[in-house]
Structure 1
Amino acid sequence: ACERAKRTLSSSTEASIEIDALHEGIDFYSKISRARFEELNMDLFRSTLQPVERALNDAKMDKAAIHDVVLVGGSTRIPKIQKMLQDFFGGKQLNLSINPDEAVAYGA
């Protein structure tokens, strides 16, 4: 249910979470906004930049030298992560033409 809500929030501003018989036969239902989801996960979102910074440091590259930013993995569909990466790379437009689930197979 939570995974489905996360995916829904990538394209909508609100998602519902429904779990039948969560505890002692009691059903659970709640709504979450994209803003609340982002607030709850901000520490995780910030941590996604650490491997990017580390890769640049290890390669002795400046982020200004990056020509194309290709996203890999399903969580890169989250608008907040996209915004943070775009900001990190100085407003550079992200390459969204490659499916994030298939990018590694293409050699990105």
Structure 2
Amino acid sequence: VSILTIEDGIFEVKATAGDTHLGGEDFDNRMVNHFVEEFKRKHKKDISQNKRALRRLRTACERAKRTLSSSSQASLEIDSLYEGIDFYTSITRARFEEMCSDLFRGTLEPVEKALRDAKMDKSQIHDIVLVGGSTRIPKIQKLLQDFFNGRDLNKSINPD
């Protein structure tokens, strides 16, 4: 998170804050762990030590996470995931948000810290520009919009 002032074409960084330990991979990990447990429940087999199965599951989870940014549900279909067992399942956006709720709550901490460091109030912020792939996640957008009292978020810049 960066807070800048722009006057007469001059950009000045007032504060910057972030959590280098929080990113898209954390959301992926939650989903992977969820589906490892689901596979265990459904098939009585533990894939957590099988690198190939985990890699394939992670790829499917990353895809599902992206799908959930524009749809309310995502399907995972992985043929022969482990010991010849096909794994077909789905996840809703609501379930994804629930399993990542603590991560989502943590996304506002750097925003609050940057405001404190800049000695500014959120009402003094004129434009909120989203940067980074995870800012596509609707829950993150909603948290930011709510934090800034319903203000529109600037999504005109490619987040990547």
Normalising by structure 1, we get a TM-score of 0.88
For 1:29 and 1:96, locate their aligned partners in 2 and report how far apart those are by CA, in whole Å: 34
Alignment map for 1:45-84 (pairs within 5 Å): 45-84=104-143
Q: Unpaired segments of 5 or more residues in structure 1?
A: 102-108
Q: Percent of pairs identical after alignment?
A: 77
CA distances 1:59-89 after superposition (whole Å, capped 9, x unpaired): 1111111000000111100111100000001
1:35 corresponds to: 94
Task: Report how many residues are paired.
Answer: 101
Q: Unpaired segments of 5 or more residues in structure 2?
A: 1-59
Residue 22 of structure 1, CA deviation: 2.5
What stretches of structure 1 move > 4 A for 4+ residues in a row? none
The residue matched to 2:100 in structure 1 has which SS? helix
Normalising by structure 2, we get a TM-score of 0.61
Paired AA for residue 93 in structure 1: D
User: What do you get for the CA RMSD once the two structures are aligned?
Assistant: 1.0
